[in-house]
Amino acid sequence: MPRPPGHGPGFEVRRQKIIDIAASLFAQQGYAATSINDLGRAVGLAKGALYYYIGSKENLLVEIQSRVMGPLLSRARQIADLDMDPLLRLRLLSESLLTIIFRRLDHIWVYEHDYRSLSGDELKTLLAQRSDFEQLISDLLSQAMEQGMFRTMSPRLATLQFLNLHNHTYQWVKPDGQWDAQFLSHEYCATLFRGFGAPDHALPKVEKQAQEFKRDRPGLPLDPEAEWEATAG
């Protein structure tokens, strides 16, 4: 993000601080619901000075997004390139992802919630980055399947489960809470690696029961919006 030439030494520092505060406000109230006035008040700067630093409101979104996605993608590529067990690399990647979620929770909120507010080009860049990240996961999962560590399954679906489990974390996690990134990574990977591992005997039974239930109890459809007719007894 090369700024026009001629900025004093403190410029970039203050600029970063403003982006931080913006991320915090956007995370709390949403991008659309946060006005430049709100930001100015929080920063302690009049509107004019604010624009001196930020360029535009949408540009803040771009900065926030790239501050999250740039480092993450870069580190993720390094990890994926390691000459190691795919499972280990997945585990490391998982912790890396969770680490940035913990550290930059505000940014992640914005990133996950308001990326639709980006205009065409910026949105395209963002989606490409997301896609690159997903591909790294997908490749590792495929390798794990090929090496027999996971049962054979749709790599796409496995990827999506991995991402669901990690990416939704921002919705409830508390950076200063009882769990840290390492612990969550450990737990998530334990679930996923076991879950993706060789089939055991418990599963088929439940699945069969579920089929029977649906057959035998048409009066209690799983569709929450289906009409309800009690079979009571």
Partner DNA sequence: CATGAATGAGGTTTCATTCAT
Partner DNA sequence: TATGAATGAAACCTCATTCAT
Q: How far apart are CA 58 and CA 48, in angstroms?
A: 16
**Spatial CB neighbours of 96, under 8 Å, sequence gap ≥ 6:** 72, 75, 76, 79
52 contact choice in DNA, a second copy, none (CB below 5 to 8 Å, kind-dependent): DNA
Pick the closer one to a second copy by CB: 124 or 187: 187
Contact 122, 62 (CB under 8 A): yes
Pick the closer one to a second copy by CB: 18 or 76: 76
* Phi, psi of 112, deg, nearest 5: -80, -30
Tell me if 7 contacts DNA by CB under 7 A. yes
Q: How far apart are CA 154 and CA 209, in angstroms?
A: 24
210 contact choice in a second copy, DNA, none (CB below 5 to 8 Å, kind-dependent): a second copy
Q: How far apart are CA 88 and CA 209, in angstroms?
A: 36
User: Smallest gap, in angstroms, from Cβ of residue 41 to DNA?
Assistant: 10
Pick the closer one to DNA by CB: 43 or 80: 43
Q: Contacts with DNA in 52-81 (CB under 7 A)?
A: 52-53, 56-58
- Structure tokens that stand for 193 in this block: 């690696």
Among 11, 191, 197, 219, which residue sits at the site for DNA (rule: CB under 7 A)?
Answer: 11
User: Smallest gap, in angstroms, from Cβ of residue 147 to a second copy?
Assistant: 12
Site string for DNA, 31-50 (x = CB under 7 A): --xxxxx-------xxxxx-
User: Smallest gap, in angstroms, from Cβ of residue 228 to DNA?
Assistant: 28
Q: DSSP per residue over 90-155, as a string?
A: HHHHHHHHHHHHHHTHHHHHHHHHSGGGS-HHHHHHHHHHHHHHHHHHHHHHHHHHHTTSS----H
User: Smallest gap, in angstroms, from Cβ of residue 121 to DNA?
Assistant: 15
Contact 184, 98 (CB under 8 A): yes
User: Smallest gap, in angstroms, from Cβ of residue 50 to DNA?
Assistant: 7
Binding site for DNA (CB under 7 A): 5-11, 14, 33-37, 45-49, 51-53, 56-58
